[in-house]
Structure 1
Amino acid sequence: MPRPDRSHERIPQILSAAAKVFAADGVQGARMDDVAKEAGLSKAAIYLYYKNKDALVLALLEQFFAANLEALKLIPQGNSATDRLCLWIDLVSAAMQQGAHFQTVGFEFLAMAGRDTDARQKVLEFYQEYQSAIAQLLVDDGMLPSDAANKAQEIVALLEGINLLWMAQSGDMDFARLAKSGVTALLS
C-alpha cells in the first residue's frame, strides 16, 4: 500500500526547523542532523525533500521571496503607486523584524548565488518578477511602460541596497523609514 503524500505538512515543518537552526547556529554551523532534530524527523526524512543544506537555504529564500511578491500584488488598488509601495514596505519591514534569521540566510544566499549557477538563476528570476510587479504597479498608476520598467529597476536597486545595509547592521536600522523615503523621492 502506497504511503500518503505528506509533503504539504513536512515541507513547512522542515523549513520552519531549518530557519530556527540557521538563526541559532548560522548556516555554516548548522547540520542536517540539527534540522532533523528540530523538525522532529529523521535525517533521512529531511533528505527526501532536500538534497543538502544549500537546497534548504534556497527553499527558505524562495518562500520569503514568494511571500514578498504576493504581499506586493495584494496591496489594494485605489492609492497612488507611491502609497501602495509604502504600504508594501511596511509589510516587508514587519516580516523582516519577525524573521531576523533571514539576515544570516540572506548573506548565505548571496554567497551561494556567487558560486552556484542555479542559485544565481533563482536570484535573477526573483528580481525579474519583483521588478515586473513594481513596473506593473507603476503602469497601473499611469506611467508609460518603458519609463515604468526603468523606474522599477531603480526602486529594486534602492530597496535591495537598503536591505543589504539592514542585514550588515544586524537589523539595527529603520528599514521602512529609509525605504519609504527613497521610494517617495524616486517617484516624486
Structure 2
Amino acid sequence: MSPRTVDKAARRKEILTAAVRVFARKGFAATRIDDIAAEAGIAKGSVYLYYDSRDALLEAAFEGYRTMSAAIFDRALNGRGPALERLAEMVREVLGVLTARREPARIMVDLWAASRDAEGSLVDMAAVYGDARAVITELLRQAAKEGVLREGLDERHATVIVGTIEGCLLQCLVDPGLPAAELAEPIIQIFLEGLRRPAA
C-alpha cells in the first residue's frame, strides 16, 4: 500500500470521525457539511473529495456501527463456553462499547427517531434490531440444547432482552449521571436467573 493510499484512507477516517462527533452533538438533521469540515479542520470542498454528501457520511457511520456489532455478535455465537455465558459476555461488551463511545449510541437514538415515519430512511434500523434478536434467539436455542434453559423461550424473549439493553442505554444518554458501565451485571443477573431451568 502506497503512502498516498494510506493518507487517503486516514483522511477519510478523520472526516468520518468528525462527522460522527457532529451528528452526536447536533443531530443528523441539523448537521451541515460546513460543520463537519470545521470539526475536521479542513475546507468544506475537501469533505466532498471523500464523501459526496452528508447522507453518504451517515451511511458510512451506520455501516461502521453494523460492522462493530457484527464482530460482537460473531464472538457471542462462535466463542467457547456455555451459551448463556456467551450471552452474558455479549451484554457486557455491547454496553461497554457503547458507553465508552457514546457518539454511536447518540446517533442510533437520533436515527431511530428520524426513521419512525421515514419511508426512504437512509439506514435500516429494523435490521439492526433484527440482527440482535437473531443472535440472542440462536444463543437461547444453543442453551436449550445444553439443557439449561427454561421451556418455551423463543424470539419474543430475545426481543425483551434487546429492549432492556436499549432502554438502559437510552436512560444513560438522557441522564449522564447513571453508571452505564455498571448496568451490565444487573441485566445479566435478572436474565440469567429468568432464563435458566430451575434446579430440580
Q: What percent identity do the matched residue pairs reach?
A: 23
Bigger fraction of residues in helix: 1
User: Aligned in 2, Cα 1:81/1:18: closer, same or farther, shift over 3 Å?
Assistant: same
Q: What TM-score results when the alignment is normalised by the length of structure 1? A: 0.76
Matched, 1:163 2:169: yes
What letter matches 1:15 in structure 2?
A: L
2:188 counterpart of 1:180: yes
Q: How many residues align?
A: 183
Post-superposition CA distance 1:14-48 (Å, at most 9, x none): 2211123344x422654321212333444234345
In structure 2, the residue matched to 1:26 is: 26
Distance 1:56 1:91, change over 3 A: same
Select the residue among 130, 135, 138 that pairs with 1:136: 138
Partner of 1:150: 156
Where do 5+ consecutive residues of structure 1 fail to align?
none
Alignment match, 2:97: 95
What is the Cα deviation at residue 121 of structure 1? 6.2
Name the SS of the counterpart of 1:138 in structure 2.
helix
Question: Contact between 1:17 and 1:38, CA under 8 Å: does it hold in 2?
Answer: yes
- Report the structure number with the largest CA radius of gyration: 2
CA distance in 1, matches of 2:177, 2:139: 28
Q: What is the CA RMSD across the aligned residues, in angstroms?
A: 3.2
SS at match of 1:119: coil
Show structure 2 runs of 5+ residues with no match.
Answer: none
Where in structure 2 are the equivalents of 1:115-134 lying within 5 Å?
Answer: 115-119=117-121, 122-134=124-136
